[in-house]
Structure 1
Amino acid sequence: MPELPEVETVRRTLIELVAGKRIASVTVKLPRIIQRPADPQQFADALAGRTIQTVERRGKFLRIVLDGLVLVSHLRMEGRYGVFPSDEPAELHTHVLFHFDDGTDLRYKDVRQFGTMHLFQPGEEFLLPPLNKLGIEPLEEAFTLKTFRERLEKRTTKMKPLLLNQEHIVGLGNIYVDEALFQARIHPERTPDSLSSAEWKRLHESIRATLERAVEAGGSSIKSYVNGQGEMGMFQHQLLVYGRKDEPCPSCGKPIHKFVVGGRGTHICRKCQPLKRSV
């Protein structure tokens, strides 16, 4: 599933590709992608004649801002956007096509068919699902050490599923939680009450640093992710533990261990991330 760095990269490329373009019509080939309004034809009719002003992000969601409406899009497992000439045949699994009046399309392709689209009046999207319960953005100034710790330290959940919970901090998925915990030298099964002040500080810094590096690299193309221009991300070449089972730890040389935490495959160094309080 695309995480914050991948969605942020898609956002940046889509601004270059579609900002300022006017939608002439919309074709919906898979109605269940459209979650709001319930009628896909109403969705298409509402967008016809609208101009895309910008593309923003909230957590793992894209906010496509038009004149008078906001389209909230979640890519889920394998959703992707691309711009194509309108007369070019659509690829298999292309489910929604936004036809611009300049002879190009913005096309949404989703092999797994899990993606969603919601249409709102401006500002309404923050009051209703799916955005209304999202937590703090880890790359914004509001993500301070104090705020981070206050949000999590009284929880009893293990650290990894806690960090994956989008109601606390948005944008973090399996890849970047593994990487941040490793860099902070914290075992994913630790609980918040077991962390020292130094560990809280390390984890806060490692979350931000990991995400910033990943955004700079265009995200991680572990499976099928590409940006809006069809380009792969490159951060997978910088991953320290994720996907590196049995490879030597970059810090101590011990083999990377893979196991399951909260139903998710998890990568750690058992020497660098002991299941006990460290300094």
Structure 2
Amino acid sequence: MPELPEVETVRRGLSALVVGQTITRVDVRLPRIVRFPSVDAFVSRLQGRQFKDIRRRGKYLLFDVEPYTLISHLRMEGQYRVVPEDEPKALHTHVVFGLANGMELRYRDVRQFGTMDVVAEGEPLPSGLVSLGPEPFDPNLTFQDLYSRIHRRMAPIKSVLLNQTVIAGLGNIYVDEALFLAGIHPLTGADKLRKTDCERLLQSIREVLTRAIDAGGSTIRTYADGYGRHGGFQMQLNVYGRAGEPCLGCGGEIEKIKLGGRGTHYCIHCQPRNGRKTRSKSMSAAASSEGFTP
């Protein structure tokens, strides 16, 4: 599933490609992608409108087409591409927005889990959007705030961080990577973390996300941006997808377990199960070797 860095990369690319363009037509090929309003009203609300801006909230894309907002959730494998209108449409292309410049904004979704809503001010927003926690880069989000959000939760810290009501935009890849940089075992109960742990954790979350955005996200399976380009952060991963390989920091083995049905990766030495370990010089060196200075 595209996480915050991938959705932010898509947002930036689409902003350059479609903001300022007028929607000349809308073709909904798979009606269930549209949740609100009806398909006919969806088309009517968008046709003839101009893309004014594209914003992101958590893993949602918000296209401003005044007086409406098109809210898009990519879910597992949703993709946007901007291509010439005469280019053959790829299989699983479900929604097409014709643009005044002769291009098309196409939404493709192999698994068909993505959703779209077009809402006016005062109309109900998708429940998942309403319940989102703060953005990781929100300057008002401090480690004390993070501590207050998690310290009464007895669930494993990884499960808590995946909860979008706690902090928005994090998914499996970047939670694993942030916990590694913070030296925190994914099974550690959230209620066991001290404020100093939360300070280190919030810093690690921001460091990982910044590096991932700079690299254009991670292409583990099918992710691509609006230009069709793949991300590059998968080449910088410290633990995710590296089960059985040596840790880049200490040389210990990367282990994989199942947690809440999700594959979870960690270093058996850098992230001790019983006890806390601050970021070691070797862990910092591993991060620096990938272009990041702690």
When the two structures are superposed, what TM-score results if normalisation uses the length of structure 2? 0.91
In structure 1, the partner of 2:144 is: 146
| Aligned-partner residue type, residue 89 of structure 1 | P
Instruction: Find the partner of 2:165 among 146, 164, 167.
Output: 167
In structure 1, the partner of 2:49 is: 50
Contact 1:218-1:234 at 8 Å conserved across structures: yes
SS at match of 1:178: helix
Contact 1:179-1:240 at 8 Å conserved across structures: yes
Post-superposition offset of 1:277: 2.6
- Partners of 2:196 and 2:148 in 1: CA distance: 15
Q: In the alignment, is residue 111 of structure 1 matched against residue 107 of structure 2?
A: no
| Aligned-partner residue type, residue 17 of structure 2 | L
In structure 1, the partner of 2:77 is: 78
Contact 1:195-1:277 at 8 Å conserved across structures: no
Q: Give runs of aligned pairs for residues 109-258 of structure 1, distance below 5 A.
A: 109-122=108-121, 124=123, 128-258=126-256
Post-superposition offset of 1:263: 1.2
In the alignment of these two chains, the number of paired residues is 277
- Partners of 1:53 and 1:220 in 2: CA distance: 28
- Identity over the aligned pairs, expressed in percent? 51
- Partners of 2:83 and 2:133 in 1: CA distance: 35
SS at match of 1:260: strand
Q: In the alignment, is residue 5 of structure 1 matched against residue 5 of structure 2?
A: yes
Post-superposition offset of 1:148: 1.1
Mind listing any 5+ residue stretches in structure 2 that lack a counterpart?
A: 278-294
- Partners of 2:167 and 2:105 in 1: CA distance: 30
- Partners of 2:193 and 2:100 in 1: CA distance: 56
Mind listing any 5+ residue stretches in structure 1 that lack a counterpart?
A: none
Post-superposition offset of 1:124: 4.5
- Partners of 1:128 and 1:179 in 2: CA distance: 29
Q: In the alignment, is residue 99 of structure 1 matched against residue 93 of structure 2?
A: no
Contact 2:150-2:191 at 8 Å conserved across structures: no
Post-superposition offset of 1:84: 1.4
In structure 1, the partner of 2:40 is: 41
Contact 1:219-1:235 at 8 Å conserved across structures: yes
Moved over 3 A (4+): 122-125
Contact 1:26-1:48 at 8 Å conserved across structures: yes
- Partners of 2:68 and 2:159 in 1: CA distance: 34
What RMSD, in angstroms, separates the aligned Cα atoms of the two structures? Answer: 1.2
- Partners of 1:264 and 1:246 in 2: CA distance: 17
Q: Deviations over 1:27-82 (max 9, x none)?
A: 00000000111x21211111111000011000000001112110000111111001
Post-superposition offset of 1:90: 1.2
Q: In the alignment, is residue 259 of structure 1 matched against residue 257 of structure 2?
A: yes
Contact 2:151-2:192 at 8 Å conserved across structures: no
Contact 2:224-2:230 at 8 Å conserved across structures: yes
- Partners of 1:160 and 1:184 in 2: CA distance: 12
